[in-house]
Structure 1
């Protein structure tokens, strides 16, 4: 039996779950306008373990959303995961945040394009088939009326980056899933267990989040 802690903090959603053999047994999350990850993450972990009569020493590994996404959010999530893994002597697993977001919906046809807001008309995105196979790697792209014009299939859009494109991407092939806004640790459970079984771990000391773009400081 593998008990894994999953942490996803790449967006405004501070999300934590516990999973046994790939199935979520409990999840806590909160999405606030002002990022509250530093205040909430460790509280959520403590509460999840206590509510399920578990201890830190029961954990077999920690998975973290690797990004792309918020610089601050990713730093908090990865730093916390590293701390748990180092202190407990357990492996660390990195999960693609965009795949986590894509897995929040199930479709019968077409493609899934998760979009994480990168400000203005730019988003972090990738393209996934109905079985979540990635067919275009993660990119930071500027969206305009011609975006995805080469795709003849239905396109399912999810994430906090899609709302601003409703007047831009108006073709009937675009399906907006407005209720799917943020990635969640709930959808990490299956992915982290699959990697755990394969011993697909990252180096706790040297792993860095996938920022995709350089951190920019503005006044």
Structure 2
């Protein structure tokens, strides 16, 4: 089963794709993405009769989008892919899901997906 995840906006979007079925879901994460992402994914897997062990590949939306959302989502996906030796690819654009699934089917593996924010990152100076 392939997991597709987009955390670039306050609405987290996840899809699970297997050879004979596909499930699309979303979660209004808002400011709770860091605290709730793993629980949300666990609940989504369980709801569909799947476990973490069923994941054979990951497609990650790498941007552009929210600095914090992309950073959190990609950290979770990169960590899982590395620890479980699962292929991960990062894509962008309107066809990100289709492009990512095609890349995985070809055997691509980015091993580490870095975010593309769409603009230069603006880091504010500390006030104190």
Fold shared, TM-score > 0.5 on shorter chain: yes
Q: Of residues 102, 111, 116 in structure 2, which corresponds to 1:194?
A: 102
Please give the TM-score of this superposition, normalised by the length of structure 1: 0.51
Please give the TM-score of this superposition, normalised by the length of structure 2: 0.83
Q: Of residues 24, 36, 45 in structure 2, which corresponds to 1:49?
A: 45
Q: Which has the higher helix share?
A: 2
Preserved contact between residue 16 and residue 41 of structure 1 (Cα < 8 Å): no
Q: Which has the higher strand share?
A: 1
Structure 1 residue ranges, 4+ long, deviating more than 6 angstroms after superposition:
none
3-state SS of paired residue (2:9)? coil
5+ residue gaps, structure 2: none
Cα offset, 1:89, TM superposition: 0.8
Preserved contact between residue 3 and residue 58 of structure 2 (Cα < 8 Å): yes
Partner of 2:111: 203
Partner of 1:82: 78
Partner of 2:14: 16
Query: Residue deviations 1:65-105, cap 9 Å, x none?
Result: 11011111110111011111012111001121x315xxxxx
Larger Rg belongs to: 1
Question: CA separation of 1:22/1:40 partners in 2, compared to 1, >3 Å: closer, same or farther?
Answer: farther
5+ residue gaps, structure 1: 101-186
Kindly report the root-mean-square deviation, in angstroms, between the aligned alpha carbons of the 2 structures: 2.2
Preserved contact between residue 11 and residue 28 of structure 2 (Cα < 8 Å): yes
Distance in 1 separating the partners of 2:41 and 2:99: 19
Cα offset, 1:26, TM superposition: 4.2
Preserved contact between residue 91 and residue 99 of structure 2 (Cα < 8 Å): yes
3-state SS of paired residue (1:99)? coil
